[in-house]
Structure 1
Amino acid sequence: MTPEHPLPPAVTVAGIGADGWTGLTDAARTALRDAQVLIGAGRQLGLLPPECAGERVPWPTPLRPAVPGLLAAHAGRRIAVLASGDPMFYGIGRALTEVLGADRLRVLPHPSSVSYACARLGWPLEDTEVVTLVGRPAARLAAALHDGRRLLVLSAGATTPAEVAALLRDRGFGPSRLHVLEQLGGEDEACAEGTADTWDRPPGDPLNVVAVECRAAPGTLRLGAVPGLPDEAYEHDGQLTKRHVRAVTLGVLAPAPGELLWDIGGGSGSIAVEWMRAHPSCRAVTVERDPVRAARIEANAARLGVPGLRVVTGRAPECLAGLPAPDAVFIGGGLTAPGLLDTCLDALPPGGRLVANTVTLESEAVLADRYRRHGGELVRLAVAHAAPVGGFTGWRQAMPVTQWSVRTPVTPGNAPVQPSGDDR
């Protein structure tokens, strides 16, 4: 039942841009004038005129863990929070919603820096990919690099443009054109342009967005948007799920946004890397007992744009205890380890997927037994490559791979919840 006199929102969130007070709507100005507590970054609070007489409270560092305590400390007072641009676009609005709930929040958005940047450049917003480097490593930009694409990079500060240029050069995208747009919407708005290859500008204004027109240099290895990257994309010592088998394996694993993969026996990390490249919100934990290979997995993940891949060095199943529950499991090694398959199957939710690959007779026997007991699908994957045979050409057969895949049962009472989230 709806209460006769519903409670007013506990917090008003007002987006503000580089144009400051003059760029706010009447509703936002009224909320800020009436607030007893004004919370925001020091730069944002400095944009308010004296008529906003509420107590000014700058956000502490780190910000997100402080949100519940700060709101509790000012409970019962009229609180207004300042946010950059649109509070619900990589802004504080998300954290406030998680703490308070949407019904206790009033959001008054301002045009985002992305909207301003697309307006200045004439880029259709719906065709422009956005990657944030605020609080995130620059390496994650690599996953978005495709020849001819347009990207907007949300900067962490004044040094971000140079970091972006360096990454582009390192990944073979030196000819890409950069536009660094500063103080968008404000009186001091400015734009600097150049290519990544020649970028040598000193740090400028920390309030900037980097626009990238992606151009690959001749000879740059092409990395597609679907599983099955070239084997040359990975550093490895031979422990690599090869390209064609990898593409089939990822197709059966079927990554979806927000899902978590356990990759057991990581090798070079190729399955986990391409799982995470499937969508910005996909997550993965790879388990590898060899420390040298574990370090190589981390390097491959950073190189291919998924530095968030978590690498656990240790033996499975012992090191699986305490890991977050997976949505899918891939086992590329260690199938004969006692208890491994049972531990992985028990960890999966209803509807979860398990895929196991092997090339040995001993492990194949394990998979055949599980197929007999649990069903699923048992297939043999064979790939042959054309190779010289004297002065002619013949087929050179790679070792066949036996693959077992299975889904955990779903009943009406245990249907899985669709994951959500995006961390571009």
Structure 2
Amino acid sequence: MAEGVGNPWLTIVGIGEDGPAGLSAASRDAIAQADWLTGAARHLALLPDPGCETACWPVPFADGIAPLLARRRSRVVMLVSGDPFWFGGGSVVTRQLAPHEWVAHPAPSSFALAAARLGWAIEETECLGLHAAPFQRLRQHLAPGRRAIVTVRDGGAVAGLADYLTESGFGDSALWILEALGGPRERVRQTSASSGAFADIQHPVAVAIEVAGEGAVLPGASGRPDDWFAHDGQITKQPVRALTLSALAPRPGELLWDIGAGSGSIAIEWLLCAPSMRALAFEADPTRAARARDNAAALGMDRLRVIEGRAPEMLIDQTIPDAVVIGGGLSDALLAWLWQHLPAGTRLVANAVTLESEALLANWQRDKGGDLLRIELARAAPIGTRRGWRSNYPIVQWSVTL
């Protein structure tokens, strides 16, 4: 039970496919004393005689919160699948409540049951809830030999998952389709992504994946190759991107503003650092903004929020960032606005390629401090029958803490 004072009016009960047989004594007592019981139709059907008023939780999930809160003076039981706080609805509901208002009795999660059936070490296995999320969330985890357990919406979604793996070059991946784990309808069957899914898959369903194939593997280090991002030339190139991410120094849970985002590559790589990372990308060109969204979705970083418009106008009333990168639209007015409106401690990195923007950064670095770095890169290229160095435009990078 969460710490606090008073008696909880809401009990969140995790229920498995074995119904009442798998409930703890505390869960059975809460149901017996309930004035109102809510849950998915499938959950309610597992309790043939709850002995109180019942209500089916609506779709979408958020529509059920207001009716639940309206029952504050009653003894309410909410049924959820397995562990309510592992890709479940528990945290969505409890964030609306004071700590003393609720208590939870979890049951084994689908991930725990799947790992137990397959003998997999769950701490070495990626566990993802894809029942309401795109399959691209898997993209950064697709590497031969890696394992994942994912929950999906229904049997049809299993076929979509198999198609996604095959299209990504991982059609040789082994799939275990785990249906109705923990109950009398439980069934575990194995296939491969390229062979496709079975036609008679029953809900609820999880899929265990052992990745195999020749698909491209997304590198783990900052500065991914440029060909992971669609672009029109407006992209911070791989080596400069690596140096920029290093200067930004991402920390778990932080928010980035990517101003003049172009392809969105810096914001996307920021998000790839950790699941808790957040980013806002600001881009004035609608075509580039759409491309940044597509790039983010393709790499499973659909949580990137892309805002169309010019800075600093589009920055007003946005959530205050921990770090800012300026890739396009650098100006004296923009830097002045950031200094006026952002708190001390905000990290700023700005890249310049023209003589005018270099001079601007040099002046600001003289007045505000920070590090000024000149980045000169050259690649080996053919010169007739021999080779020579082909230089890129030099980049001047200013990194500073406000």
**What TM-score do you get using the length of structure 1 for normalisation?**
0.89
Question: Partner residue of 1:192?
Answer: 189
Which segment drifts farther, 310-319 or 244-253?
Answer: 310-319
Residue in structure 1 matching 2:287, options 265, 284, 292: 292
CA distance in 1, matches of 2:337, 2:169: 42
1:326-359 CA-to-partner distances (Å, cap 9, x unmatched) read 22111111112x5212333444344221111111
Question: Partner residue of 1:422?
Answer: none
CA distance in 1, matches of 2:212, 2:370: 44
Aligned counterparts, 1:316-335, within 5 A:
316-335=311-330
2:126 partner letter: E
1:333 partner letter: G
Question: Partner residue of 1:145?
Answer: 142
Secondary structure at the aligned position of 2:170 is classed as coil
1:187 partner letter: P
Secondary structure at the aligned position of 1:272 is classed as helix
In 2, are the aligned partners of 1:21 and 1:49 still within 8 Å (CA)?
Answer: no
Question: Partner residue of 1:367?
Answer: 361
CA distance in 1, matches of 2:63, 2:257: 28
In 2, are the aligned partners of 1:162 and 1:199 still within 8 Å (CA)?
Answer: yes
Secondary structure at the aligned position of 2:26 is classed as helix
CA distance in 2, matches of 1:200, 1:106: 39
Which structure 1 residue ranges, 4+ long, deviate > 6 Å from structure 2?
Answer: none
In 1, are the aligned partners of 2:283 and 2:307 still within 8 Å (CA)?
Answer: yes
In 1, are the aligned partners of 2:283 and 2:310 still within 8 Å (CA)?
Answer: yes
Question: Partner residue of 2:398?
Answer: 404
Question: Partner residue of 1:62?
Answer: 60
In 2, are the aligned partners of 1:37 and 1:78 still within 8 Å (CA)?
Answer: yes
5+ long unaligned stretches in structure 1: 409-424
1:95-131 CA-to-partner distances (Å, cap 9, x unmatched) read 2321223332211110000000101111101001112
In 1, are the aligned partners of 2:81 and 2:88 still within 8 Å (CA)?
Answer: yes
CA distance in 2, matches of 1:404, 1:385: 24
Residue in structure 1 matching 2:306, options 308, 311, 334: 311
CA distance in 2, matches of 1:349, 1:146: 41
Which segment drifts farther, 41-50 or 129-138?
Answer: 129-138
The alignment yields a C-alpha RMSD, in angstroms, of: 1.9
CA distance in 2, matches of 1:270, 1:209: 32
Q: CA deviation at 1:214?
A: 1.4
Question: Partner residue of 2:272?
Answer: 277
* Residue 207 (structure 1) aligned with residue 204 (structure 2): yes
* Residue 171 (structure 1) aligned with residue 168 (structure 2): yes
In 2, are the aligned partners of 1:353 and 1:405 still within 8 Å (CA)?
Answer: yes
5+ long unaligned stretches in structure 2: none
Question: Partner residue of 2:232?
Answer: 237
* Percent of residue pairs identical: 46
Q: CA deviation at 1:318?
A: 1.9
Q: CA deviation at 1:364?
A: 0.9
Question: Partner residue of 1:47?
Answer: 46
